[in-house]
Structure 1
Amino acid sequence: MSTVFPGQIKIPATYYRGGTSKGVFFKLTDLPEVAQKPGEARDKILLRVLGSPDPYGKQIDGMGNASSSTSKAVIISKPSVPDHDVDYLFGQVSIDKPFVDWSGNCGNLTSAVGAFAINNGLIDKAKIPDNGFCTIRIWQANIQKTIVAHIPITNGEVQETGDFELDGVTFPAAEIQLEFLDPADDGEEGGAMFPTGNVVDDLEVPGIGILKSTMINAGIPTIFVNAADIGYVGTELQDDINSDPKALEKFETIRAYGAVKMGLIADISEAATRQHTPKVAFVAPPQSYQASSGKQVEKESIDLLVRALSMGKLHHAMMGTAAVAIGTAAAIPGTLVNLAAGGDEREAVRFGHPSGTLRVGAQAVLENNQWVVKKAMMSRSARILMEGWVRVPADTF
């Protein structure tokens, strides 16, 4: 007898470019019923959609593009929290391992959440103007935070094309303004904004030594170190780091020991199953360099240099959540980010990253001898690349 193989099931989905990332977006109620709640079935579906785990590291049999910036899934649903318009849940899908990391947010894909919600009937039509901006309050379910997105509307529909340019994205698009309200951690995981209570710590890393570090929970848990302390200058591009296995191992070691000190994990062995957070970034004072596009970034046009790693690789531009961490740390005197930018009090910085520059702002105030960040702000853009259905084999879950 011939073998009978299962067919495929169709799941409504939208493929978005949001900021400098790409991801597959789902409406919660469009997922198979068993995947409408957290668990193994949901993770298996998302892994199969993206083409993971792939021992070849290419995600050829899925929607992923073999980088942390493009191996992402988003689930959008009606709001679970009063005074919000929509819930946003983000999954960072591992490329070569069978797991989905739900521990943090994706700031880049945040820019597409409001547009997806409007296009999929999750926003009251009375709230959508004929022309102007639709203000959408997003509940970021991974980190339990509020994000406000201002979505441009033309003739009652989301405006996606425009002249806003974002380094790391080839073509211009419509500008979407994002406000990350109270972006610092409120103590649910890993403590407060500065989990150790210090704006700068001595982080002891076996095989590397003691590194000055700023460990911050804002936007996403992030460990900042000085580029010079680890043998870099801050102008490095992707290949300078990603082609060097020893460098990647060094950064992963820093990340693991920093995660323990931040209280995010109890033992360094747990870092292997928590790849999305924390992030590791290195900073340096401004200097001129040539971005990956060939564009010349002049020293005078930026306040500092920042390079960040995501899922074990140097990011081609900058993660949106890490940009929030950068803006927040820059606003607080004495952090390594603030010192690299000159040490002055500031409400915004423009930093150089591998693809160019990005401006991010933050409002920080001192309350009861503790720094509090009210919100961080930045602009992004988003565009639908494809919409319809994704297909997965029926025996996936």
Structure 2
Amino acid sequence: MKQWGKQIKIPAVYMRGGTSKGIFFLKEDLPSDPSKRDKLLLRVMGSPDPYGQQIDGMGAATSSTSKVVIISKSNRPGCDVDYLFGQVAIGQPLIDWSGNCGNLTAAVGPFAIDHGLVDAPKDGVATVHIWQENIGKEIIAHVPMKDGEVQELGDFVLDGVAFPASEIKLEFLDPGGEGGVLPTGNPIDILHVPGIGEVEATLINAGNPSVFISASSMGLTGTELQQDINGNPDLLARLEWIRAHGAVAMGVADDIEYAMAKRQHTPKIAFLAEPASYTASSGKVVRREEIDLLARILSMGKLHHAMTGTGAVAMAAAAAIPGTIVSNILGRAVSEIRIGHPSGIVRVGAAVERHHHSWMVKKVVMSRSARRLMEGFVLVPNIID
């Protein structure tokens, strides 16, 4: 890192990956001490901001844009790069490193190629083997190349992103987390949530830990958009309360207080329903026959504007396992689903196998896109000495 006036200057790339944006760094350009690193990254993003806007930083005051990524060349056999993701809280001095961002995963391969961490063909498709450090899993990105550069522009349309780009195919290998895909061993558990009652939930750990409930259990239809949910603080509080109880039940948090204060990024909570026609946030009509189920997922306490990548991974895994909230809505277990989310439709497929009394998710596949938005340096006050 170089001194520049009264600020320090850190090499960085601002990238869109899927329906998210984040600041990408090489690990070597950041402090090696985790506490100093986090302090610096919070300042980069403009957190904590009591006004909730991140005006004095690179964040854009939403869970989809308050994100950081750290990339390094991997020493792990068979992997090209290590990828660490941090979800930066907006109003708190917190970076949650507990899970992956499936959307930003799409930008990891292009970043690695651009920085010479991976050998890539001049034309065709570069295969990048990514070690996702947060969850300890391998992801394979298939990145299109043209004339020796990542082909960023194309005609692949991703609902939730205004402009088309080039398609990047992602394979999430063995995405089930520690303790198995179904941590409790049950496709559906009953959560006893004080003040709410008994809530049926599928607790699944694939891509990221997730808590799935039916929309009807909360008096919802599954066609809601951001303004319908995020303007209802009582509903948000109830969903967060359920999420925290799900975190404890699936063993990723020791107690409710920890889940709510320190583990806000994961597990995610989503509510699902049978297909119905609705108008997406873009104004486009999504027809009932175009989708297999409705899903709305929350991130950092707010309804996501589209669908988290890891949420789609977990839903595809749950769809392939009989008896879950997802497969029950579908009417049967299936290997591929079309999810209707607030911005449109996402398609994702999963391959699962039954081993004795447990399920194994072999692979989940989906397509995203990515693009560099700005490259150069971020400038922050020198607060790490």
What TM-score do you get using the length of structure 1 for normalisation? 0.94
For residue 243 of structure 1, the aligned residue among 217, 231, 238 is 231
**2:250 paired with 1:262:** yes
Listed one character per residue, the Cα deviations across residues 257-306 of structure 1 (whole Å, up to 9, x for unaligned) are 11111111111110111100111000100000000100000000000000
Letter in 1 for 2:161: V
8 Å contact from structure 1 (residues 173, 381) kept in 2: yes
Inter-CA distance 233–23: structure 2 relative to 1 (3 Å threshold) = same
Partner of 1:204: 192
Q: Which runs of 5+ in 2 are unaligned?
A: none
Partner of 1:318: 307
CA distance in 2, matches of 1:211, 1:395: 46
| Identical pairs, percent | 62
8 Å contact from structure 1 (residues 52, 94) kept in 2: yes
Listed one character per residue, the Cα deviations across residues 148-170 of structure 1 (whole Å, up to 9, x for unaligned) are 00000001110000000000000
CA distance in 1, matches of 2:284, 2:27: 41
Listed one character per residue, the Cα deviations across residues 134-181 of structure 1 (whole Å, up to 9, x for unaligned) are 000000001000000000000111000000000000000000000000
Letter in 1 for 2:359: W
Q: Which runs of 5+ in 1 are unaligned?
A: 1-5
CA distance in 2, matches of 1:288, 1:66: 30
**2:261 paired with 1:282:** no
8 Å contact from structure 1 (residues 362, 373) kept in 2: yes
Displacement of 1:396 after TM fit? 4.7
Matches within 5 A, 1:1-397: 7-31=6-30, 35-37=31-33, 39-124=34-119, 128-185=120-177, 187=178, 191-271=179-259, 272-342=261-331, 344-396=332-384
Q: What SS is found at the alignment partner of 1:57?
A: coil
8 Å contact from structure 1 (residues 260, 268) kept in 2: yes
CA distance in 2, matches of 1:394, 1:346: 53
8 Å contact from structure 1 (residues 48, 396) kept in 2: no
Displacement of 1:204 after TM fit? 1.0
CA distance in 2, matches of 1:374, 1:264: 22
Letter in 1 for 2:24: F
Letter in 2 for 1:12: P
Displacement of 1:369 after TM fit? 3.1
CA distance in 2, matches of 1:396, 1:175: 39
Displacement of 1:367 after TM fit? 2.0
Listed one character per residue, the Cα deviations across residues 7-44 of structure 1 (whole Å, up to 9, x for unaligned) are 0010000000000000000011122xxx134x210001
Listed one character per residue, the Cα deviations across residues 311-344 of structure 1 (whole Å, up to 9, x for unaligned) are 00000001101110011001111110111122x2
* Number of aligned residues: 381
Moved over 6 A (4+): none
Letter in 1 for 2:40: I
CA distance in 1, matches of 2:359, 2:131: 24
Partner of 1:3: none
Q: What SS is found at the alignment partner of 1:213?
A: strand
Listed one character per residue, the Cα deviations across residues 233-263 of structure 1 (whole Å, up to 9, x for unaligned) are 0000001010111011111100111111111
Listed one character per residue, the Cα deviations across residues 200-220 of structure 1 (whole Å, up to 9, x for unaligned) are 111111111101110000010
CA distance in 2, matches of 1:270, 1:394: 31
8 Å contact from structure 1 (residues 304, 351) kept in 2: yes
8 Å contact from structure 2 (residues 281, 343) kept in 1: yes
CA distance in 2, matches of 1:349, 1:331: 9
Listed one character per residue, the Cα deviations across residues 373-394 of structure 1 (whole Å, up to 9, x for unaligned) are 1000000000000000001101
CA distance in 2, matches of 1:393, 1:61: 11
Q: What SS is found at the alignment partner of 1:68?
A: coil
What TM-score do you get using the length of structure 2 for normalisation? 0.97
Displacement of 1:116 after TM fit? 0.3
Listed one character per residue, the Cα deviations across residues 76-134 of structure 1 (whole Å, up to 9, x for unaligned) are 0010311100000000011000011000000000000000000011113xxx1121100
Letter in 2 for 1:257: H
Q: What SS is found at the alignment partner of 2:51?
A: coil
Q: RMSD of aligned C-alpha atoms?
A: 1.1
Listed one character per residue, the Cα deviations across residues 57-86 of structure 1 (whole Å, up to 9, x for unaligned) are 000011100000000000000103111000
8 Å contact from structure 2 (residues 182, 359) kept in 1: no
Letter in 1 for 2:153: T
